[in-house]
Amino acid sequence: MNTRTLFLWFSLSMAIILGPSCVREEAPASSEEPSETEKPAVNEGTVIFYSATVSDADATRATLDSDKHYIFETGDQLVLTGTNISGTLTLKTGVGENNATFEGNLTYTGEGSPAPDLELKAYLKSTSDAMTSMSYDSAEYPTSAITATTAEAVQKYSHFTGTSTFAAKSFTVSQQSTFLNFIMTFEDATQAGDVLDININSGTGTMRTGSTTATLSGSDVMVLFVAVVPAGTELNNATVQVGGKALPFGGSITLAANKIYNIRKRVPAVVGLEAVSLGLSSGTRWANMNLGAWGVPSYGQFFAWGETQDYGVMSGHTFSWNDYLWSKNGSSTEFFRYNSQDNIKTLMLEFDDAAWAKWGALWRMPTKDEMDELIDQTTQQVVANYESSSIAGVKFISKEDASKHIFLSFGGYMDATVTGRDHSGYYWTSTLGDNVANAQYLYMHEGGSTYTTSVARYLGISIRPVYIRKELVAVDLGLPSGTKWANMNIGAEEASQYGQMFAWGETTGYSSSTDYSDHSFNWDNYIWNPSHDGQTFTKYTKDDQSPGDGKDTLEPEDDAATVIWGKPWMMPTNADFVELIDGTDQSWIDNYNGTGVSGMKFSSKAAGNSNYIFLPAVGARANAEHFGAGSEGYYWASSLNNVAQQGRALYFSSSAEYTTQTIRSFGLSIRPVIRISAGAGVEDYDKEGSQTWK
């Protein structure tokens, strides 16, 4: 199916000329009632042959092509209905033209011949009168641009209706369609290229079903599709089910004719995801659901150890050494990574941790030690039917507060098939086993056994993530504004780690490792410069473009700190960096706390305040190259420079620190800030599970 952009409103004037007709003779009337055996067969109607010429009168609609003509194609049909009369005419001549002849039979079941003033209703449709998925040729939709294939799309998916009388030889058929443009942005495991089933429901039931392909738009995974429905359709608390996820839109509206309704929705990574504190000694908080789940309770998806691709029961995937990412030629003894040569014992967070890859920089897989702590410091209870869900598993109940728990389902494991579902549970840790062919995991059984052991890395097993930010602190440096600074970068787990790098105004981060390149930071990949010229931007255009949008500070949806860490975190402004420099004492550190990491220490000047923050000298990334690591620090502000090509930033080295400007497409670090309003405190924000105030 070809994909097209729909954005045109139009009406058609059509002249319909009735050709010669053949009328079947009626039996003569009789004064006597015939016997049952003499009664004629039931009259099934008079067949009337029509040859209808349909022509485009003039350009009374929006432009379809340079000639403003509706172009007919094979498969077009003209449906005529009225009291006791109906029929469908098919296209006879006129393919590829704006004048066409339709031929076919009408059936009239009334007495005699149709009355001259009999009202007829006309409906022009095409071969595929249904929902379609469409890709958009331009960066933004709707657009005033006209694509070469728009006419074909309109033909296939529009509704045209009109009325006239039987005797009239012409009448007008006008478009009576409503276009529902669903633009979904997915933050979950959906990937570009995934084909997702779609089911649009309203108060009246299913409106349209179909499928579409997820696409990549900048750094977002998008699902873009168009549903064309007849005007007058009532949309009542619509629910769109995409890829098995039911997404409510709410509201009620009667859809008007020839209108576009743009429906935009950002789909969160997981509905109802929480980081549960069980009072563990380490402070580790556990997710309340499995990776790949869509709510609580659920089984989630299966993963091989060290792979970030997930598979479901119906995926048809086989977990084996032959299919295992890190196995050399299907070997169970030789591996590309996590082997006896590289001596890496724990999954590399940014590359091979499925929780990080699927849920983002706030989550990771648990270590074996964390899994053992979960067992030792909670009370386990086998549950056969958790909260009436028909799902069995184990509740891990806090010994500190019995009202808090997490539930791990008996999902079984998967190789060619699923084994042990509803009887046993298997959950990966990020820790390699005693030999390189195995990895550590949690085993649970309905008989009450719960412990960690090891198993072959290739098996498909569940994952229950843990919350990374247990060490996150908003540090009070005694600054006049009251702004508090995070003690670590986005993408880091502790103050000394580099974290991730971001282009200005993008919310997807990439590796800061100096020996790994997963992204080129240039105009070709920059979300706000689709023309790739470094000159024209679709947002944050300042005033050097005409017309400029005047936006000089990132909005929350484009602020990486707000998107990734959640409110009230945000990226600092240029003024925040100026205040940080003026309100602290700076000192260069060559080996921060024995980690070997160099950077700048910003210590409070306020009387009686011994707090400080440390910013690693991460350097920056331009194109695929990384420069300045260990000797320079570059940190984005949320402020645009006085020209649209540049964002403001903090720069420092062992001899200087100041604010500057940097090309927006470059990759820099981000150190978030938080501003707590009067009266707010830990109690107000601790529900997010990501903030601690010092």
List pLDDT tens digits, range 228-281.
Answer: 677 777 777 666 766 655 566 656 777 776 666 767 777 665 667 788 889 888
Give the count of beta carbons closer than 10 Å to the beta carbon of residue 612. 18
Report the range of poorest mean pLDDT among 137-146, 436-445, 515-524.
Answer: 137-146
> Model confidence over 193-233: pLDDT tens digits?
777 767 676 655 666 666 677 787 776 787 776 666 777 77
Q: Let me know whether 188 and 297 are in one domain.
A: no
Strand runs labelled E in 310-468: 363-364, 378-383, 393-398, 405-409, 413-414, 418-419, 424-432, 438-445, 450-456, 466-467
pLDDT at 485 over 90: yes
In a domain, 100, yes or no: yes
In a domain, 186, yes or no: yes
- What was the pLDDT predicted at 142? 31
In a domain, 38, yes or no: no
The stretches of 225-337 forming alpha helices (DSSP H) are: none
Cα 533 to the center of its chain, rounded Å: 27
Cβ–Cβ under 8 Å, residues 682 and 688 = no
Which residues share a beta bridge with 182? 225, 263
pLDDT at 119 over 80: yes
In a domain, 3, yes or no: no
pLDDT band at 493 (very low <50, low <70, confident <90, very high): confident
pLDDT band at 35 (very low <50, low <70, confident <90, very high): very low
Q: Let me know whether 86 and 200 are in one domain.
A: no
User: Phi and psi (nearest 5°) for 677?
Assistant: -70, 165
* CATH number for the domain that contains residue 245: 2.60.40
- What was the pLDDT predicted at 601? 97
Cβ–Cβ under 8 Å, residues 368 and 451 = no
Helix (H) or strand (E) segment spanning residue 181? strand 177-186
Q: Count how many domains the chain has.
A: 4
User: Phi and psi (nearest 5°) for 487?
Assistant: -90, 5
pLDDT band at 187 (very low <50, low <70, confident <90, very high): low
Report the range of poorest mean pLDDT among 293-297, 548-552, 565-569.
Answer: 293-297
Domain boundary among 267, 289, 324: 267
- What was the pLDDT predicted at 314? 66
> Model confidence over 299-313: pLDDT tens digits?
888 999 999 988 877
Cβ–Cβ under 8 Å, residues 456 and 358 = no
In a domain, 6, yes or no: no
Tell me the Ramachandran region of residue 682: left when phi exceeds 0, alpha when psi lies from -120 to 50, beta otherwise: alpha
Q: Let me know whether 456 and 327 are in one domain.
A: yes
- What was the pLDDT predicted at 170? 67
In a domain, 522, yes or no: yes
Which amino acid, 616? P
Give the count of beta carbons closer than 10 Å to the beta carbon of residue 532. 13
Domain boundary among 175, 202, 232: 175
Give me the sign of the Cα torsion angle 111, 113, 117, 118: positive
Q: Report the distance separating Cα 636 and Cα 647, nearest Å.
A: 7
| Residue 29 structure tokens | 């009337």
Mean pLDDT along residues 644-655: 95
Q: Is the pTM of this model over 0.75?
A: no
Q: Let me know whether 446 and 535 are in one domain.
A: no
Instruction: Identify whether 480 is preceded by a cis peptide bond (ω within 30 of 0).
Output: no
Q: What is the mean pLDDT of the chain?
A: 78
> Model confidence over 368-385: pLDDT tens digits?
999 999 999 999 999 999
Q: Let me know whether 243 and 285 are in one domain.
A: no
Does residue 353 or residue 315 have the better pLDDT? Answer: 353
Mean pLDDT along residues 51-79: 60
pLDDT at 619 over 90: yes
Q: Let me know whether 487 and 595 are in one domain.
A: yes
Q: Let me know whether 256 and 281 are in one domain.
A: no
Q: Let me know whether 55 and 170 are in one domain.
A: yes
> Model confidence over 656-681: pLDDT tens digits?
999 999 999 999 999 999 875 323 32
Mean pLDDT along residues 438-446: 97
In a domain, 35, yes or no: no
Q: Which strands make up the sheet holding 438-445, listed edge to edge? A: 424-432, 438-445, 450-456
- What was the pLDDT predicted at 56? 60
Share of residues in the chain with pLDDT > 70 (%): 72
Which residues, at least 6 apart from 589, have a Cβ–Cβ distance to it below 8 Å?
Answer: 598, 599, 600, 601, 614
Q: Let me know whether 224 and 288 are in one domain.
A: no
pLDDT at 85 over 60: yes
Give me the sign of the Cα torsion angle 591, 597, 598, 600: negative
In a domain, 5, yes or no: no
Mean pLDDT along residues 347-362: 83
- What was the pLDDT predicted at 61? 35
Under DSSP, is residue 144 helix (H, G, I), strand (E, B) or coil?
coil
The owner of tokens 């380490």 is: 282
Give me the sign of the Cα torsion angle 358, 359, 364, 366: negative
Which residues share a beta bridge with 206? 201
Cα 325 to the center of its chain, rounded Å: 26
> Model confidence over 122-161: pLDDT tens digits?
877 755 444 333 333 222 223 333 333 344 445 455 666 7
- What was the pLDDT predicted at 17? 29
Q: Let me know whether 629 and 679 are in one domain.
A: yes
Under DSSP, is residue 25 helix (H, G, I), strand (E, B) or coil?
coil
Domain boundary among 205, 238, 267: 267
User: Which of these, 208, 74, 205, lies nearest to 132 by C-alpha position?
Assistant: 208
Q: Let me know whether 439 and 540 are in one domain.
A: no
pLDDT at 2 over 60: no
Residue 189, domain extent:
178-267
The owner of tokens 């440096």 is: 477
Q: Let me know whether 450 and 478 are in one domain.
A: no
pLDDT at 24 over 60: no
pLDDT band at 296 (very low <50, low <70, confident <90, very high): confident
- What was the pLDDT predicted at 567? 72
Mean pLDDT along residues 446-472: 91
